[in-house]
Amino acid sequence: MFGDVWTTAGREAIIKTWQSARLPKRQKTRHCRFDPARNSSHLFRCGFLFWCDMQEIEAVILAKGAPVRTSEGKVAMCAIAVSEVFGLIRLYPLAVMQDVDVRVWSVVRVTARRSTKDNRTESWRTVDCQAVGLLQDSQAKSQLLNDCVLRSGSDDPIKYQNERRASIAIVKADGAVGCGLRPREAVEQPQQDADEPWVLTQDQHPLKPYLFWQSVQGVQHETHLLAQEVYMGLQRNASAPFRVFENMHVGDPDFEHWLVLGNMRDRRTVWVCPHLHRLKKTTSRIRTSFLTFDGRGDDWPYLTQEAVNAKDAGPQKTFTFTTSDT
């Protein structure tokens, strides 16, 4: 899919990289233990329907948040990606160790289903996520980000998305982006985790990074920057935490900045920034298009619920379903 959507000559090398990196499609086999105490409808619901709801999605990762500890005590991460079919999407959970190759600008093939605990339109429950390529061309990156920038007219983008009950937005700040660090009110004590002993969750960091920016409509914003790269930078540079922002060229007039924004599942009007993109300004940008096989609608990548439902209702992937009595 994504290996074929870049049509300009300058991206031919990327296309070849993606195509050569693609993994063969795999058969999915579901092994179920048959329990006579359970009726057939329960077996059908837990097995067959589970796999029929699966979607295989190819997307580009645009943001990856720092690890959090789930209610089950596991450490996981959340990512925001853009798909030519579903537009901007949220992928959760990503494992810290198993998904180490999945980073910002990775081209990924994801097996996912709709989450039963998160009813936001853009949210998907990740079952498997494989990196199959990497977008490296700065012109292609800039074009993709600009194509994803939210056009909200006279409304501030956050207000606009709240009214639409949408949960993802990509914006360009009006003017320079500021930064700051604040002490965290309650710091969670690091836990000894045999699987991930070096990983600190967001709540285990003593400092909380923020971005200060203004929308093109003139509204001032203060947004928690929870990007994985930022929290890792704070962990590595504990004695010089502001070096993280220097490395990101925050406030540098020679760089363009795009904010990837998403709201909180349990606080829908609270928005955070899981990644701040920055690319050096150039006067030789060539306007190209992020195209799809069948053309994309005017609402791409901010698809409405009706559009998403139509996509979900399309042809499903075929899975092998087997049972076992052992």
- pLDDT value of position 11: 41
Write the pLDDT tens digit of every residue in 234-286: 999 989 999 999 999 999 999 999 999 999 999 999 999 999 999 999 865 44
Domain boundaries, the chain: 2-136+304-324, 138-280
DSSP 73: S
**pLDDT category of residue 38 using cuts at 50, 70 and 90:** very low
- Taking 90 as the threshold, does the pLDDT of residue 8 lie above it? no
Write the pLDDT tens digit of every residue in 273-302: 999 999 999 865 444 433 333 345 667 899
- Beta partners for residue 6, in sequence order: none
Please state whether the predicted TM-score (pTM) of the whole model is above 0.95: no
CA distance 52 to 22: 23
Write the pLDDT tens digit of every residue in 62-77: 999 999 988 888 889 9
Least confident of 76-80, 129-133, 185-189: 185-189
Q: Write the DSSP assignment of 76-141 as a string of letters.
A: EEEEEEEETTTEEEEEEEEETTTTTT--TTEEEEEEEEE-SS---TTEEEEEEEEEEEE---HHHH
**pLDDT category of residue 199 using cuts at 50, 70 and 90:** confident
The mean pLDDT of the chain is 78
Highest CATH level, class, for 2-136+304-324: mainly beta
